[in-house]
Structure 1
Amino acid sequence: MSKELETTFHKYAKYGDPKAPGHEMSGKNFAKLCKECNILENGCTSADVDVVFSKVKSKGARVINFSEFQDGLKQLSRKRFQGMGNALPAIHKLVEGKDPESPGSTKTVAVGAVDRLTDISKYGGTHKERFNESGKGASGSEEVTHDSGHVEACKGKEMKQ
């Protein structure tokens, strides 16, 4: 028995319920583990996973412990690796060291916000004309300084007090 296999079991047992102690796994999390670890290939289906879960769990129980989990993997290995002599180590290799995936979670982008917002390849139509080739705003590409102390629109006008 591998310590990595037990660690993976505990991670998936806790998935979706932060208060769970991680000693028992639900059928939903068992199916998730099988899907994410590519056990559902070569003739092994989600229906097979559900049947195996029902067989290994205690009567009336809704969850499995680690020893029942190992028995379930043993049964699934025969289905997934039909004809192979070393099916159990092969299925353990698929499962060991895996973490539950969180679908729909936002991935961080390494590019800075200004780079993303001034990338002209992401703009189309009239918005593309707002930027020059370097990505600077077309109206702000020249560095012009005014010594008047006033806003350009007010130049030459008297200020009322």
Structure 2
Amino acid sequence: MSDALKNAFIAFASYGKGQMLKQDMDNKNFSKCIKDAGILDKVITATEVDITFMKVKAKTDRTINFAQFCTALESFAAKLKVSPDVLYAKIEAASPTSNATKAEAVKFHDDKNLYTGVYKNGGPTNIDKQAAGGLAGHLDRSPADVRGVKF
């Protein structure tokens, strides 16, 4: 096996895991790898990918290692009647992709020159200001004189 295949395995195994580099691949990332590499077709379906993953992993594990990954690719190659090297090349050429959408610009949200009211002045706050206009200026916080009060 080539280093490029091992690097592709690590890239797909680590996809969606933040900065961590993973040495084991779960079923979700295995399916993504097969889909992004363009191996899915009428013979190798999403169901077939899931079944193959379950066959190659250890009974109690949730992930597969690189050797088990290669075994799964060899199984797919046998079903497709091609050399495993063909599938290895497809995996090496693929990389994990994201299909997220990007929000369009919103005039009244993005342009701070168009803000009005409270937001024009920096937005609301839950901290009382000590300057005039704050609650502290309206309250008498001196000690109370309770002499002569009967309860």
Under TM normalisation by the shorter chain, which class is it? 0.5 to 0.7
Q: 2:92 aligns with which of 86, 93, 96?
A: 96
1:12-161 to structure 2, matched below 5 A, reads 12-18=12-18, 20-79=20-79, 81-82=80-81, 84=82, 87-106=83-102
Deviation digits for residues 55-81 of structure 1, max 9, x if unmatched?
A: 1101111000111111111111112x2
Classify the secondary structure of the residue corresponding to 1:96: helix
User: How many angstroms apart in 1 are the aligned matches of 2:46 and 2:100?
Assistant: 22
* Cα root mean square deviation, aligned: 1.4
**AA matched with 1:66:** F
Question: Structure 2 stretches of 5 or more lacking a match?
Answer: 103-151
Deviation digits for residues 91-135 of structure 1, max 9, x if unmatched?
A: 1111113210011254xxxxxxxxxxxxxxxxxxxxxxxxxxxxx
User: How many angstroms apart in 1 are the aligned matches of 2:66 and 2:101?
Assistant: 29
Classify the secondary structure of the residue corresponding to 1:39: coil
Q: Report the count of equivalent residues.
A: 102
Any conservation in 2 of the 1:77–1:91 contact (CA below 8 Å)? yes
Regions of 4+ moved over 2 Å: none
Any conservation in 1 of the 2:56–2:64 contact (CA below 8 Å)? yes
Residue aligning to 1:134 = none
Any conservation in 2 of the 1:7–1:97 contact (CA below 8 Å)? no
**AA matched with 1:103:** N
Change (3 A) 1:64 1:47: same
Any conservation in 1 of the 2:37–2:93 contact (CA below 8 Å)? no
User: How many angstroms apart in 2 are the aligned matches of 1:97 and 1:3?
Assistant: 12
User: How many angstroms apart in 2 are the aligned matches of 1:100 and 1:15?
Assistant: 7
Within the alignment, does 1:9 sit opposite 2:5 as a pair? no
What fraction of aligned residue pairs are identical, expressed as a percent? Answer: 32
